[in-house]
């Protein structure tokens, strides 16, 4: 992949994210969020982690974004009004960015070139997932089940007595 493509992906991702964070209408923001996530997935592909990129697409673009849009629909009466923007946050965010930038540029050990590695196949991921990472996998399964039930319980209509 060449540098131009890298640049384009970076610009698309950051622009999408910036739009998602700043657009006044919530529904527009949610759609821009999808763009940002697609860009991020492209980064994962670029880095040779195709599986993570796919998961990112499926989970974020496929599920999370749809969930957000649904929530916007369900809380529409309130969300319709455009959101007031608080400028104080920008100062903090820019300051944090400055701090992080300083830390990245100051650290010498990040100046390394990528090594050649065999492609990371889904088969290999599956093997690792079911050997070294089998307990975290089970825990995440449990967590997802709990989150599913928890979300259901939270949004359940209270019974009228």
Partner 1 sequence: MTTLSILLVISAALFCIGLLAALSRRHAIFILIGIELMLAAANLNFVAFWRFGPEPQTPTGVMVAIFSIAIAAAEVAVGLALVISVYRHYRTTNVDRLNQLKG
Partner 2 sequence: MNHWIVANLWLIPAIPLAAALSILCLNSSRGKGAAALAVLGQIVALVMAVIAFVPTLQAPGWRAFHNFTWFTFGEQALRIGWVLDPLAAAMLVMITLVGLCIFVFSVGYMADDKNFTRFFAYLSFFSAAMLGVVIANSLLLLFVCWELVGLASYLLIGFWIDKPSAAAAAKKAFITTRIGDIGFFLGILWLYSGSGTLLFYDNGHGCLENAGLLLLGASATFVALLIFCGAVGKSGQFPLHVWLPDAMEGPTPVSALIHAATMVAAGVFLVARVYPLFSAGAIDGVTPSLTVVVSIGVITAVMAALIALAQFDIKRILAYSTVSQLGLMMVSLGVGGVAAGIMHLIAHGFFKALLFLGAGSVIHGCDHEQDIRKMGGLRWLMPVTFLTYAIGMMNLSGVPFFFSGGWTKEEILQATTHWHVSHLPHYLMLVGVVLTALYMTRQMIYVFFGNKRAASTHAHESPRVMTMPLMMLAGCSIVLSIALTPAWPWLHSYLNGEPAHFHIARLIQPMLFVSLALVAAGIGLGWLIYRNVAETDPVEQAQPALFHFLESKMWLDELYDWTVIGLSKMAARLSDWMDRNVWDGLVRAFAGLGQFFGIFSADFDERGINAGVDEATGGTRGLGRLMSALHSGQIQTYLRAAAVSVLALLILYAWLT
Binding positions for partner 2, rule: CB under 8 A: 86, 88-89, 92-93, 95-96, 99, 102-103
- Pick the binder of partner 1 from 14, 122, 130, 134 (CB under 8 A): 14
The backbone torsions φ and ψ at residue 13, rounded to the nearest 5 degrees and listed phi first, read -60, -50
Q: Give the position of tokens 């998961």.
A: 55
DSSP 87: T
**Residue with smaller CB distance to partner 1, 77 or 161:** 77
Instruction: Please give the Cα distance from 38 to 11 (Å, whole number).
Output: 12
**Min. distance of Cβ 18 from partner 1 in angstroms?**
5
Q: Is 96 in the site for partner 1 (CB under 8 A)?
A: yes
Q: Is 4 in the site for partner 1 (CB under 8 A)?
A: no
Instruction: Please give the Cα distance from 31 to 15 (Å, whole number).
Output: 12
Instruction: Please give the Cα distance from 157 to 159 (Å, whole number).
Output: 6
**Min. distance of Cβ 143 from partner 1 in angstroms?**
5
**Min. distance of Cβ 160 from partner 1 in angstroms?**
14
29: Cβ contacts below 8 Å, ≥ 6 apart: 19, 20, 21, 22, 23
**Residue with smaller CB distance to partner 2, 86 or 116:** 86
Q: Is 87 in the site for partner 1 (CB under 8 A)?
A: yes
Token pair in block for residue 16: 């999408």
**Min. distance of Cβ 34 from partner 1 in angstroms?**
11
């Amino acid at each position: 992949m060449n540098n131009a493509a890298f640049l384009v992906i970076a610009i698309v991702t950051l622009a999408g994210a910036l739009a998602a964070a700043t657009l006044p209408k919530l529904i527009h923001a949610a759609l821009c969020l999808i763009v940002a996530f697609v860009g991020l997935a492209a980064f994962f592909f670029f880095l040779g982690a195709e599986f993570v990129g796919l998961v990112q697409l499926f989970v974020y673009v496929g599920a999370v974004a749809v969930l957000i849009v649904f929530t916007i629909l369900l809380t529409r009466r309130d969300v319709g009004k455009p959101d007031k923007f608080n400028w104080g946050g920008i100062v903090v965010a820019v300051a944090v960015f400055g701090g992080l930038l300083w830390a990245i540029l100051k650290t010498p050990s990040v100046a390394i070139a990528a090594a050649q590695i065999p492609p990371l196949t889904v088969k290999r991921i599956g093997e690792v997932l079911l050997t070294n990472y089998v307990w975290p996998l089970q825990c995440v399964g449990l967590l997802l089940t709990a989150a599913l039930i928890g979300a259901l319980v939270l949004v359940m209509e209270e019974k009228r007595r």
